[in-house]
Amino acid sequence: MSKRVGIVVKGYPRLSETFIAQELLGLQEHGIKFDIWSLRHPTDKTLHPVNEAITAPVRYLPEYVRQEPGRVLRALAKAASRRGFWRAARVWLHDLIRARDANRVRRFAQAAVLATEASAETDFLYAHFLHTPSSVARYAAIMRGISWGFSAHAKDIWTTAEWEKREKIADAAFGVTCTRYGAEHLAALGPEGRVALVYHGLDLSRLPPPPPKRDRAGPFTILSVGRLVEKKGYDLVLDALAQLPATIEWRFIHIGGGGLASNLEKQAKKLGIAGKIDWRGAQARDAVFAAMAESDLFVLPSRITESGDRDGLPNVLMEAASQKLPVISTAISAIPEFVEDGVSGRLVAQEDVKALCAAIKEMVENPEKRAIFANRLHERLVTDFGAEAGIVAVAERIEATLA
């Protein structure tokens, strides 16, 4: 019997999660057979080429029990005949008592569907994100009597309760995470050696080469790519741009969707800079790299929100580096693991609009410094953040567990 892996993700495909698609394609090319199980249906209207290259079957679990009650009831009835179902039910009930919410009920229902609908060859479950996808994978694995593992990233690490992280880490065959910042935190919560640092990196062979020159006529072009959510700090970008000297001719391009779009557009109008901003919405990867080629600077002032939500190491910073686009970001989370302030880019304190404005002004006025920073960050990317090593590390862990 050929063993398979069930890979559990929150939503698939997602334009904002190229790092997951890149890993899936790498595992596919490594010869690992898997099915993709998504907790949510896709909302993006376009695909990245990397998604189109992934041939694994994609199955969608019931987003809400009320949408597919018959499917859920059949799964629960079938799963109840398994010895592992009642152990999973006890684990779930213990979790529910400590975190009473409807989502927890939904996760158990999704787990039952996954446990009963996954093929007989499925011998391991691997979840991307430590919060809800790992809950589903964990309950389903217990029901089937198989092992599971996880890849943790950013929000899922910092907004999940400590008791839940401890229990998931103890229960998983292995865990990986993409920043030293996150790895040290998680490693302290579980058995020694259970959680490893595995950078996502970039597969540079699939990306366009950096443009030969950035000497262009017209306004200085500042680019950012990311979801319009609080942790990305786009309100800070607008405030900083509004404070630039009137002598600087600039334009700002943003790519990405998100719930704060309307608020940010209103803020730009209030600041009197709306005419200099191009809100392009969610775009496929080719459009992102085309925008990088026409830009002079990349800015992403990430912040830690009151809820604890934060970026880890945003993949888009590595993508900007691949195009030798100079970077300004913030000195939080794992960003300093990649960008060294004053050496390969500029990092400012979170929430510091004055420092952000000064850094942008410095970059505008110093093309030689921009080039030095861009070249150094590109060298750092090529030397230490290639994708192959990370994919091999995950593949070896999965293969060892299957064996």
Q: What is the pLDDT of residues 291-304, one digit of tens each?
A: 999 999 999 999 99
Q: How far is CA 128 from the centre of its chain?
A: 9
CA distances from 162 to 130, 134, 185, 189, 269 (A): 12, 14, 10, 8, 42
Query: What is this structure's pTM?
Result: 0.80
pLDDT of residue 2: 80
Stretch 326-345: mean pLDDT = 96
Mean pLDDT lowest among 151-155, 202-206, 277-281: 202-206
Stretch 195-223: mean pLDDT = 87
The confidence band for 30, taking pLDDT boundaries of 50, 70 and 90, is very high
DSSP per position, 211-252: PS----SSSEEEEEES-SSGGG-HHHHHHHHHTS-TT--EEE
The confidence band for 215, taking pLDDT boundaries of 50, 70 and 90, is low
Stretch 180-209: mean pLDDT = 92
Instruction: Render pLDDT for 90-134 as a digit per residue (tens, 0 to 9).
Output: 999 999 999 888 899 999 999 999 999 999 999 999 999 999 999
Task: Kindly give, in sequence order, each residue whose CB lies less than 8 Å from that of residue 283, ignoring residues fewer than 6 positions away.
Answer: 15, 46, 255, 256, 291
The confidence band for 321, taking pLDDT boundaries of 50, 70 and 90, is very high
Q: Domains in the chain, please, with CATH?
A: 4-201+386-402 (3.40.50.2000), 209-384 (3.40.50.2000)
The confidence band for 205, taking pLDDT boundaries of 50, 70 and 90, is confident
Q: Is the dihedral of CA 264, 225, 24, 165 positive or negative?
A: negative
pLDDT of residue 370: 96
Mean pLDDT lowest among 112-116, 134-138, 145-149, 311-315: 311-315
The number of beta carbons lying within 10 Å of the beta carbon of residue 23 is 27
Question: Does residue 45 have a pLDDT over 80?
Answer: no
Tell me the C-alpha distance between 352 and 301, whole Å: 9
Mean pLDDT lowest among 38-52, 58-72, 257-271: 38-52
Question: Does residue 1 have a pLDDT over 60?
Answer: no
